[in-house]
Structure 1
Amino acid sequence: MEPRTRVSGRERDRVVHRLQQAFADGRLGPGEMEERLERALTATSHGDLLPAVADLPDDLDAPDDVVRLTPTAGRVKRSGDWRVPRLLRVESEYGRVRLDLSRALVRYPEIDIELRLAYGSATIVLPPGATANTDGVRIGWGSVTCGAPGRPRPGGIHVRITGELEYGRLRVRPSRGWLGTRR
């Protein structure tokens, strides 16, 4: 890339993603992360942008980071310190799904969750400041409730939820703090 060529918003987003991953992996401390993010978000040319990630590896994320969970019945529960894939597919005939992302390792600025539930319900708890879009969820006899902002925000995590719930409900909500307590 020519150092004087202007950067696009998409190129800036890719660099921010790499910085977020490096921070999550412990490669950057909070102060250095903040400094590099500022550099990346204010860059106008490749010469301004590239120093923010010059000493970081290129292969921070796996291109095929897809996880598929297919229990027939019972619960699917993920909480605490777990790694969220880029795409999570959950298929279940009978059962409940609870995905708590509030303390999970989320390495991607955008993640997709695809739900295929015949007779089950799902609850997704978002990390602080995250946004979610549930427009791609089709329901038969049930409901979709989303208590989070729907549009992505710069530097934040955005969760796209799609799929089908024939006889169930989907509830998406922000976390209630680090304790993750239910009310």
Structure 2
Amino acid sequence: MSLEKPDHPATPAPAVGGGSPEPLVPARDPGAVRASDADRDRIADILREALAEGRLEPDEHAERLDALYRSKTVGELEPLIGDLPAGQGTPAPGSTVAPAPAPGVSVGGHRHGGLRVAGAKNVVAVFSGATRTGTWRVGAKVNAVAVFGGVELDFTEALFEQQHVTINATAICGGVEIRVPENVTLRSGGSGIMGGFEVREMEASDPRAPVITVQGVAIMGGVEAKAVEGKRLRDLSAE
């Protein structure tokens, strides 16, 4: 008795679970990741250095700063420094790790032990005006940019979340006005190019007082920082 061969090859068994195999998930675009304040700060520092070195004209610097603070994703940041030396092979945005805030900082009668301090505040005025006044929280860094406009920062009633505060002030054909209480330390680290960068420096008698450093550049514009007479932080002692 002979076995007959089938006319057609056997149909392979279906895959376990049935149905067709699922398509591969496409790789996600790293440039679509949301940009952080630390990412923008890094790009802003590179642009500031490029301006000081003469690699960027003032109008180019202003345009890129405007685009920087309007950006939402990492992919929008990279082209802003693509033609600069610092933009060749630099760490990808998002790799910056911000230092942890000092525990138990007490300023203005408010103790912030273990509080997670938010990223830098960006106050931008392009052909317009922007203000921060009244009772507002101040972290370790504030970026103030005025391009054909004006920025007003009033710290006389602010709540300082850290003792050391850096204000990056950039004024291009515009102005940045900064007012602080009279019992804080105020220092300067900026310069003027066909403009004025005036910071009335002072040292607080209390070592626990906030230390505010104003740095940056004024190009055909002005940056002014001074204390307001009679305005003082209420209590610098820990609660």
User: Structure 1-normalised TM-score?
Assistant: 0.62
Match of 1:91 in 2: 145
Q: Distance in 1 between matches of 2:147 and 2:131?
A: 15
Shift of 1:145: 2.5
Q: Which residue of 2 aligns with 1:13?
A: none
Distance in 2, Cα, partners of 1:139 & 1:22 = 32
Q: Does 1:176 align with 2:229?
A: yes
Q: For the structure 1 residues 178 and 162, does the alpha-carbon distance in structure 2 shift closer, same or farther, using more than 3 Å as the test?
A: closer
More contact order relative to length (CA 8 Å, sep ≥ 6): 1
Q: Distance in 2 between matches of 1:158 and 1:119?
A: 28
Task: Provide the C-alpha distance between the structure 1 equivalents of 2:120 and 2:228, rounded to a whole number of angstroms.
Answer: 24
Residue in 1 that maps onto 2:218: 165
Please tell me the residue identity of whatever aligns with 1:84.
V
Matches within 5 A, 1:111-150: 111-134=165-188, 136-149=189-202
What is the rounded CA distance, in whole Å, between the counterparts of 1:75 and 1:22 in structure 2? 28
**Unmatched tracts of structure 1, length 5 or more:** 1-15, 26-56
Identity of counterpart residues, as a percentage?
18
CA 1:148/1:133 → structure 2, altered by over 3 Å: closer, same or farther?
Answer: closer
Letter in 2 for 1:143: G
Q: What does residue 159 of structure 2 align with?
A: 105
Structure 2 distance, partners of 1:119, 1:22, is 35
Shift of 1:125: 0.8
Structure of larger gyration radius: 2
Q: Which residue of 2 aligns with 1:53?
A: none
1:113 Cα deviation from its structure 2 partner: 0.6
For the structure 1 residues 24 and 164, does the alpha-carbon distance in structure 2 shift closer, same or farther, using more than 3 Å as the test? Answer: same
Equivalent pair of 1:132/1:152 in contact (CA under 8 Å): no
Q: Aligned pair 1:24/2:110, yes or no? A: yes
- Give the partner amino acid of 2:116: D
Runs of 4+ in 1 over 2 A off after TM superposition: 144-148, 150-153, 176-179
**Residue of 110, 122, 128 corresponding to 1:68:** 122
Deviation at 1:163, TM superposition (A): 1.1
Alignment partners' CA distance in 2, 1:70 and 1:163:
14
Partner of 1:78: 132
| Cα-to-partner distance string for 1:92-128 (whole Å, 9 max, x where unaligned) | 3211121110111112111011012211112111123
Structure 1 residue identity aligned to 2:192: I
Distance in 1 between residues matched to 2:136 and 2:172, nearest whole Å: 26
The whole-number CA distance in structure 1 between the counterparts of 2:125 and 2:222 is 18
1:18 aligns to what SS in structure 2? coil
Alignment: residue pair count: 133
